[in-house]
A and B are shown apart, each in its own frame.
Chain A
Amino acid sequence: MGMDFSVLAPEIVVLTGAVTALLAGSFSPRNKQWISRLIAALAVAVGAGFAVAGTLGEPETVFTGTFAVDTATGVARAIICVATLLVISLGGRELTGTSRESETYSLMLLSALGAMVMSGTSDVLVLAVGYLLASIPLYALIGMGRSPHAAEAALKTYLLGAFFGIALMLGVAVLYALAGGSTYEELSTELTGAPAAAIAVGLVGVLAGLAFKAGAVPGHFWIPDAAQGAGITAATFLTTVPKVGAFIAAYRLLSSMPDTVNWPLLIGLLSAASMTIGNFAAYFQTDVRRLLGWSTVSQAGYLLIPVAVAGQSALALPSLLFYLAAYAASNVGAFAVVAATGRHEVEDYRGLIRTAPWLAGALLISLLSLVGTPPTAVFVGKLTTFTAGWDGGLTWLVVLAALNTVASLFYYLRWIAPAFARDPAAPRPRVASDEASSTRGWAASTAVVAGAVALTLGLFAGLFWPWLEGSLAH
């Protein structure tokens, strides 16, 4: 319980990286901004290394019970850092030489830091801080695009973020008042005698805030707009990284809730709503960024299944962690293809297999992984989350998730089918995106790497799995 700051090494490295990248960017000329890019990439890479090292110790809570150092924290930090690294890499084409390059890296790192804090904290007050740290840089990132769409998306995200942030803080206040303490340990012991209705109010408030970060119903409205309006780098980041923090935070919080409140049912309903609404809204999208935006909403629904059975099934936590990693790789892969081609309409992808076979392959793997086709990563994620869900008694939800998976195939195929079609696209004047192939290469390589990760995670899931099986620190 001492003040051992070394357990926060990943956070410290990322924070230092964010500050240094910003300073280095401020003092370098426009054509030397790659320095801050390098610093940022280095920071998250080192952070990932520390994160992995941090999972090797015994689970414990530090700083008077406000921060948990356990498998969930370590894996979440690792996913966040690696995903951020991939996002920085795919952003090469879009960001290089722009006037706000170093600021973008800095903001991304700060938001990632917020997600890391959310995933590791075991105190509702620190959770609120993590929420703000993860959210505020995000508003700026979305608005950075400077297009009318970006402005609208930033405003929408900001308003919703502020609203759900207040809900979160209200919930935190209620729980704090009821328990007389803010750490999860105190919550779990003190709330047992508290009135269930009051706990429910507090819990709903906090969960609403987390739903905003997770992109799950009811806090999902900003996702499709932001995915479409923001730059592709920001879009990839905001659909991937904050989710990790939010889901681990939700899992951790719910694990300490007394069973006087029927929270599994609440989470189950949110999960059902997310996957169904996300799927149906994605159906007829023709803009791939919007399509992916809605797809992340539905993925959030699947990710809520293990959260709903937190503590009920031995598979719940490892399956959640695995699904998050699998989802991050697949989602980044799909967005990286968009970044590499610069095409935004589904029909623009017609004949991609002829012009860019490797990209088409990466797209195929990423999208089939999002569907949940074996042997890709999300398949193992879905298999284990479904098993955990059924094991935890939510059979109805698992059946619904299976039906939704079939339904989701339809819109992913709407994108895959043209890409592999025989006849190439009629040349469209709008697709004038073949400039600067050296920077395009970054996004294309990221797509291939992310696709390979999605495949490897699936094929060798058994090797990674023991690493995920650790209990939460209490």
Chain B
Amino acid sequence: MLSLVIFLPLAAALVLAVFPGIPDRAARWAWVVVAAADTASVAGMWAAYEQPPNGGLAFEEQVTWIPSVGSSYHIGVDGLSLPLLALTVVVFLACSIYALREQNRPRAQAALFLFLQTSCLGVFAAQDLILFFLFFDLSIVGMYFVIAGWGHGNAARSALKFFLYTFLGSLALLLGFIGLYLYSEPRTFDMVELARLAPLNGNPVAGGVVLGAVLLGLAIKTPTFPFHTWLPPAHTDAPAIGSAVLAGILLKMGTYGFVRIAMPMLPTAWRDWAWVIIIIGIISVLYGALVALAQSDLKRMIAYTSVNHMGYVVLAVGAAGAAGGNDAAAREIAVTGALTQMVSHGLITAALFLLAGVLKDRAGTYDMDSYGGLARPAPKFALLFAVGAFASLGLPGFSGFIAEFQIFAGSIGTVPWVAVALPGILITAALFLLAVQRLLTGAVQGRSAQVSDLRTTELLPIGTLLCLSLLIGVVPRVLLDLIEPASAAVVVLVGR
């Protein structure tokens, strides 16, 4: 079942890639149909999901792959991965609908995104480090071709920078994985086994080095300060749906790695170095917010708010491992908040990037000064943009509030001084209000007149993403019931 969900898009991608005779229209719709089928499958899995006893996995599959190095094709889901799998299929479905009007090589684009979908799903379902790495790397390759092939501006250069930078991260990750393998007894790359063994727990020096390698890899992917410099150019030059997937899904691979790999497998090292992680998180929060405030390019602004939002996740997972404060409940709230933030940020930021893509499509620029008074010519756009902005700044009623509230409640309960990151929320609020004011209100000016309102193929995906954010904000239990047992398990594992 799970393998089918992962590889269905790949199979469709191969068909689309191999037969050049497929008409463009058929290719576009085939993509939508496959993405919808995959979404339905994941929805079915969510409905059928039952919390496995004592931290096990549901829908588990294991086949030997390279037994001599202790690596197998091992996949499975739990409360950490299922929300992200769901996020992945939803965001990709949204992109497929948004791309129904694509004129530029739609067949190749559909094939590429379906390939990318398989690699993203694979990362979140993998329970073997080599398998994880395989999908992780393939997602980088796929995104490189998305940016280079369908981007605009200086796309080739941004794509190269993205590839080189994140490939550096992935190799650091690989070194960390090899370290985990070599210190485990019996030697294995199996993630479940490694989480159980915590192989480097009695070895602070090697544990620190291996954690350093893993953290470097994940921090580049997330990205946190100071490894974020690849992100703004990649986003600026990527096509709208590329940005949506990059911000919505690919960034989560980094933060997912923290809770899935770094915390359970290297608990002692994580606790020893938690203060560094918290500080990196705080800097990312404040720096991302401040730099975003200074942007006049809409896409760059959203890109920097991603640094800010991912910073909350990093500081939460850091605080969950920090010494002092014996309150396990607070730690659990922090981890739960971090996971909720991943889902929330995925939904909201994907929507915002698609909205930015609409502006580019109509008027050819992301420069916010070129617009003004968009509410008049494009009321639906204005409404959704305002909703997205408020959701992103953490307004109660949206998923972002649930996430950030839990992050700060849990983190400050454990490590009071993380409160210095609180101004980040304020700055984010300011910059989004400013953006809403500059773009939507006032007299119609600049290129605003060229901006016709949203079409159905735009309204539907963006609206759905924001509605899901609203749903989580209003009835958070749907998500939290799934996440809470998993985050409790992570807190137990990191406390060993």
Q: Which residues of A contact B (CB under 8 A)?
A: 315, 318, 357, 368, 373-375, 379-380, 383-384, 386-387, 390-391, 398-399, 402-403, 405-406, 409-410, 413, 417, 420-422, 461-462, 465-466, 469
Are B148 and A420 in contact, CB atoms less than 8 angstroms apart?
yes
A386-B178 in contact given A357-B20, A462-B65 (Cβ < 8 Å): yes
- Which residues of chain A come closer than 8 Å to B160, judged between CB atoms? 410, 413, 417
Are B69 and A384 in contact, CB atoms less than 8 angstroms apart?
yes
Q: Which residues of B contact A (CB under 8 A)?
A: 20, 64-69, 71, 104-105, 130, 133-134, 137-138, 141, 145, 148-149, 156, 159-160, 163-164, 167-168, 171-172, 174-175, 178-179, 181-182
A-B residue pairs in contact (CB < 8 Å), sample of 11: A315-B69, A357-B20, A373-B141, A374-B133, A402-B174, A410-B160, A417-B159, A417-B160, A462-B67, A465-B66, A469-B68
Are A406 and B130 in contact, CB atoms less than 8 angstroms apart?
no
Are B179 and A390 in contact, CB atoms less than 8 angstroms apart?
yes
Are A462 and B137 in contact, CB atoms less than 8 angstroms apart?
no
A465-B68 in contact given A374-B138, A390-B178 (Cβ < 8 Å): yes
A417-B148 in contact given A390-B182, A465-B66 (Cβ < 8 Å): yes
Give the complex CA separation of A148 and B174 in angstroms.
45
Give the complex CA separation of A469 and B174 in angstroms.
24
Which 7 A-B residue pairs are closest in the complex by CB-CB distance?
A374-B134, A462-B66, A402-B171, A406-B168, A465-B68, A462-B65, A387-B178
Main secondary structure of the interface of A (DSSP, over half): helix
Give the complex CA separation of A380 and B189 in angstroms.
14
Q: Which of A402, A410, A462 contacts B175 (CB 8 A)?
A: A402
Q: What residue of chain A has the Cβ atom nearest to residue B209's Cβ?
A: A395
Q: What residue of chain A has the Cβ atom nearest to residue B206's Cβ?
A: A395
Q: Which of B68, B148, B164, B171 contacts A410 (CB 8 A)?
A: B164
Q: What residue of chain B has the Cβ atom nearest to residue A422's Cβ?
A: B149
B90 CB to nearest chain A CB (Å) = 27
Are A318 and B178 in contact, CB atoms less than 8 angstroms apart?
no
Are A386 and B182 in contact, CB atoms less than 8 angstroms apart?
no
- Which residues of chain A come closer than 8 Å to B64, judged between CB atoms? 462
A406-B149 in contact given A373-B141, A383-B69, A386-B175 (Cβ < 8 Å): no
| Extra A-B contacts (8), CB below 8 Å, given A374-B138, A421-B148 | A373-B138, A374-B134, A379-B137, A387-B181, A403-B171, A410-B160, A420-B145, A462-B71
Are B171 and A405 in contact, CB atoms less than 8 angstroms apart?
yes
- Which residues of chain B come closer than 8 Å to A409, judged between CB atoms? 163-164, 167
- Which residues of chain B come closer than 8 Å to A402, judged between CB atoms? 171-172, 174-175
Q: Give the residue among B64, B69, B133, B172 with the most A Cβ atoms within 10 A.
A: B69
Give the complex CA separation of A390 and B174 in angstroms.
12
Are A383 and B174 in contact, CB atoms less than 8 angstroms apart?
yes
Are A387 and B175 in contact, CB atoms less than 8 angstroms apart?
no
- Which residues of chain A come closer than 8 Å to B71, judged between CB atoms? 462
Give the complex CA separation of A421 and B155 in angstroms.
11
Are B148 and A406 in contact, CB atoms less than 8 angstroms apart?
no
Are B164 and A318 in contact, CB atoms less than 8 angstroms apart?
no
B19 CB to nearest chain A CB (Å) = 11
Are B68 and A318 in contact, CB atoms less than 8 angstroms apart?
yes
Give the complex CA separation of A403 and B64 in angstroms.
30
- Which residues of chain B come closer than 8 Å to A357, judged between CB atoms? 20
Give the complex CA separation of A391 and B149 in angstroms.
41
A356 CB to nearest chain B CB (Å) = 12
- Which residues of chain B come closer than 8 Å to A390, judged between CB atoms? 178-179, 182
Q: Which of A373, A391, A403 contacts B182 (CB 8 A)?
A: A391
- Which residues of chain A come closer than 8 Å to B134, judged between CB atoms? 374-375, 379
Are A387 and B69 in contact, CB atoms less than 8 angstroms apart?
yes
Q: What residue of chain B has the Cβ atom nearest to residue A368's Cβ?
A: B141
Q: Give the residue among A373, A374, A399, A413 with the most B Cβ atoms within 10 A.
A: A374
- Which residues of chain B come closer than 8 Å to A383, judged between CB atoms? 69, 130, 174, 178
A371 CB to nearest chain B CB (Å) = 8
- Which residues of chain A come closer than 8 Å to B167, judged between CB atoms? 406, 409
A275 CB to nearest chain B CB (Å) = 13
A417-B156 in contact given A315-B69, A387-B182, A402-B175 (Cβ < 8 Å): yes
Q: What residue of chain A has the Cβ atom nearest to residue B66's Cβ?
A: A462
B211 CB to nearest chain A CB (Å) = 15
- Which residues of chain B come closer than 8 Å to A375, judged between CB atoms? 134, 138
Q: What residue of chain B has the Cβ atom nearest to residue A358's Cβ?
A: B18
Give the complex CA separation of A374 and B66 in angstroms.
13
- Which residues of chain A come closer than 8 Å to B175, judged between CB atoms? 386, 398-399, 402
Are A420 and B149 in contact, CB atoms less than 8 angstroms apart?
yes
A96 CB to nearest chain B CB (Å) = 30
Are A466 and B68 in contact, CB atoms less than 8 angstroms apart?
yes
Give the complex CA separation of A309 and B62 in angstroms.
32
Give the complex CA separation of A391 and B156 in angstroms.
39
- Which residues of chain A come closer than 8 Å to B174, judged between CB atoms? 383, 386, 402
- Which residues of chain B come closer than 8 Å to A420, judged between CB atoms? 145, 148-149
Q: What residue of chain A has the Cβ atom nearest to residue B144's Cβ?
A: A413
A414 CB to nearest chain B CB (Å) = 9
Q: Give the residue among A398, A399, A422, A469 with the most B Cβ atoms within 10 A.
A: A422
Are A406 and B171 in contact, CB atoms less than 8 angstroms apart?
yes
Q: What residue of chain A has the Cβ atom nearest to residue B145's Cβ?
A: A420
Give the complex CA separation of A145 and B397 in angstroms.
75
A468 CB to nearest chain B CB (Å) = 9
A328 CB to nearest chain B CB (Å) = 20
A374-B164 in contact given A387-B178, A390-B178 (Cβ < 8 Å): no
Give the complex CA separation of A368 and B64 in angstroms.
25
- Which residues of chain A come closer than 8 Å to B104, judged between CB atoms? 422
Are B163 and A413 in contact, CB atoms less than 8 angstroms apart?
yes
Give the complex CA separation of A390 and B177 in angstroms.
12
Give the complex CA separation of A185 and B130 in angstroms.
39
A321 CB to nearest chain B CB (Å) = 12
- Which residues of chain B come closer than 8 Å to A469, judged between CB atoms? 68
Q: Give the residue among B104, B178, B179 with the most A Cβ atoms within 10 A.
A: B178
Give the complex CA separation of A49 and B351 in angstroms.
58
Q: Give the residue among B160, B171, B172 with the most A Cβ atoms within 10 A.
A: B171
Q: Give the residue among A373, A383, A384, A422 with the most B Cβ atoms within 10 A.
A: A383
- Which residues of chain A come closer than 8 Å to B133, judged between CB atoms? 374
Give the complex CA separation of A398 and B172 in angstroms.
11
Q: What residue of chain B has the Cβ atom nearest to residue A402's Cβ?
A: B171
Give the complex CA separation of A406 and B65 in angstroms.
26
B307 CB to nearest chain A CB (Å) = 22
Give the complex CA separation of A372 and B141 in angstroms.
12
Give the complex CA separation of A410 and B137 in angstroms.
16
B122 CB to nearest chain A CB (Å) = 11
- Which residues of chain A come closer than 8 Å to B178, judged between CB atoms? 383, 386-387, 390, 398
Give the complex CA separation of A321 and B154 in angstroms.
42
A8 CB to nearest chain B CB (Å) = 30
- Which residues of chain A come closer than 8 Å to B141, judged between CB atoms? 368, 373
- Which residues of chain B come closer than 8 Å to A374, judged between CB atoms? 130, 133-134, 137-138
- Which residues of chain A come closer than 8 Å to B149, judged between CB atoms? 420, 422
Q: What residue of chain A has the Cβ atom nearest to residue B133's Cβ?
A: A374
Q: What residue of chain B has the Cβ atom nearest to residue A374's Cβ?
A: B134
Give the complex CA separation of A431 and B66 in angstroms.
44
Give the complex CA separation of A11 and B134 in angstroms.
39
- Which residues of chain B come closer than 8 Å to A368, judged between CB atoms? 141
- Which residues of chain B come closer than 8 Å to A398, judged between CB atoms? 175, 178
